[in-house]
Amino acid sequence: MKIISFLFFIAFNITVVGQQFIPIIPRPSEMRVGMGKFIISPTTALVPLGNDPEVKRIAGLLNEKLKKAAGFTLKVEQYDRKDAIHFMLISDPTLGNEGYRLYVESDEVTIAANKSGGLFYGLQSLLQLMPYQIEGKSLITNFQWSIPVVEILDVPRFGWRGQMLDVSRHFFTKEEVKAFIDDMAQYKYNLLHFHLTDDQGWRIEIKSYPKLTSVGAWNVKKEGRFGAFTPPGANEPRDYGGFYTQDDIRELIRYAKDRYVEILPEIESPGHSLAAIASYPELSCTPGTYVVNSGDTFMDWYGGGKFAARVDNTLCPANEKVYDFLDKVLGEVAQLFPFPYIHMGGDECAKNFWEKNPQIKNLMVREKLSDMDAVQSYFVGRVSKIITSKGKKMIGWDEILEGGLVKSAAVMSWRGMKGGIEAAKLGHEVVMTPSDFVYVDYMQGDAAFEPPVYATLRLKKSYQFEPVPDGVNANLIKGGQANLWTEQIYNMRHLRYMLWPRGFAIAEALWSPKGARDWNNFVPRVEEHFKRFDVSDRKYAPSMYEPVVNVKRLPAGGYALDFDVEAPGVTVHYSFDHSYPDNFYPSYNGKSVVVPVDATVLRVVSYKSGRLVGRTMTISIADLKKRAK
């Protein structure tokens, strides 16, 4: 075992000797690729050095993979030998708590780290070096399980590498959340931001307030386009939804911990609180009868950040019962979740009902509050004190900056980078999650083809995500995360379709060195991971192969098209005659394609290296003309 070589393996960037392709995502900090390979066979030993039980558990995860895919496991031994895969703890100041060193020779493999978390991440890289069939569901025999010779030094750029999962708009079972955590951990994410409450459902058992789940966890099932549903009838059954018991939460926390993932709970307030108000109407400023929303319209959006509610979905800042409620709720949440932060929400709070409420007006006089932003700031301050009293730190969406913010609070910047920049300049810790780079519920390709959402975020744009803006203290930027809102996401298949491969891009932005990103190197690695998703029956979006169709009016009349494709090496073929094109049809060569006068439909396919990639796109010419510039 040539572990001594690690001591000299710190002073070079990524270099390649020979032609071996290394498909690891996120890209390692430093890497040297050699010639040859290490072969794993039933005679190979698994050697967790030392007596640390966590080292032995992590080493055992490799055997779990091999047993499922290859049909054999490695014999566990306690001494150094050749033809072995070693896991060991070392003391190396360059690695921190999550870094690792991976050394693959033709006769042995070693993963070394300061902490067990680093060994876990080293294992993820080792598995990604193995043939993609290691992720398969079926047993493969007479197959060579090999790993290319390589040396890797890998340390994450940020400590906060998150994915947010919204389980309020549509409920995902405990087993589905576990699968979500598995996917996260495979790509070195270490934080699940759990959006547990909103207008469409309250998803966590609170023993002090049982109606939150007996009433607030259920609505009327609707299918179609969320936000445009017809209002449910009074007699329609409210049986769609679900919630996690406190035992479920404890189980998920243990499951995540075994995969080095922390869970950040979010209890949304004061807006987005209709499920809570339907359960306990006295929490509202506005007397009335409330029901959990099913996706029918109750907010009016005017653009430019202007909006108003048709139904008051806010907790009342002037009602002391609200603070008693939050004290008990957040107390139970704090007892359940070991993570040091609690997310209090704070975004998109409609204040039009507050503006005409006498309780709010009295509060403004008593507390000398100048406007509605100051009212929300008062509420945020009260919630911050509650969270602090539970031994936790508060984090919220960037709207909590409006009207002033207590110094100890952290800010999650979602409305672009601006809020994060402002918060950092005020001395607050910041998690960057700007919608224009990391909102993975947005469409990924052409709007005529993608499941409809109000904005588009392409893979290449996500890959350009840079969490540290110029001119701010980088030490205050804790990291970032991908946000997956589920208004339009009804099941796990579509959830994965929306998250991957954009989740690969964001993982690389949060783990890899800033200077290591290279789009042309990233795409072939993504393609290798598509194979892993194929054999494990996980869905993903092939949108990087499929063009966005840009339309322009011609000066002399008529229309012309250009096709914007992200992935290099893709050829686009098209037809206007209602037939289904293949790679023998005309191809786009960079010059605008004139639309025939009598054409009524466009069909497009994409090929790469003679192979069909992506899907057949069918767009009416009438729709194309509507987007013409």
To which residue do tokens 């700007």 refer?
Answer: 434
CA distances 112 to 159, 214, 317, 593, Å, are: 19, 49, 52, 56
Tell me, yes or no, if 248 is annotated catalytic: no
Q: What is the DSSP letter of 447?
A: T
d(CA 99, CA 81): 24
d(CA 565, CA 209): 52
The one catalytic residue among 105, 135, 198, 398: 198
d(CA 218, CA 292): 7
In this structure, what token pair is assigned to residue 376?
Answer: 């929300």
The one catalytic residue among 108, 166, 183, 348: 348
In this structure, what token pair is assigned to residue 532?
Answer: 């892993």
The one catalytic residue among 170, 193, 195, 272: 272
d(CA 551, CA 562): 7
To which residue do tokens 């990604």 refer?
Answer: 128
By the 8 A CB rule, do 618 and 603 touch? yes
Contact partners, residue 618, CB within 8 Å, separation at least 6: 601, 602, 603
| Cis previous bond, 28, omega within 30 | no
Tell me, yes or no, if 348 is annotated catalytic: yes
Report strand pairing: 410-413 vs 430-432. parallel
**Cα–Cα–Cα angle for 23, 25, 29, rounded to 5 degrees:** 100
Q: What is the DSSP letter of 244?
A: B
Strand partners, 266: 195, 343
Contact partners, residue 626, CB within 8 Å, separation at least 6: none
d(CA 193, CA 183): 14
CA distances 102 to 46, 121, 125, 133, 616, Å, are: 15, 10, 8, 21, 42
By the 8 A CB rule, do 440 and 457 touch? yes
Q: What is the DSSP string of 376-445?
A: HHHHHHHHHHHHHHTT-EEEEEGGGGTT---TT-EEEE-SSSHHHHHHHHTT--EEE--HHHHBTTSB-S
Q: What is the DSSP letter of 452?
A: P
Tell me, yes or no, if 198 is annotated catalytic: yes
Query: Which residues carry out catalysis?
Result: 198, 272, 348
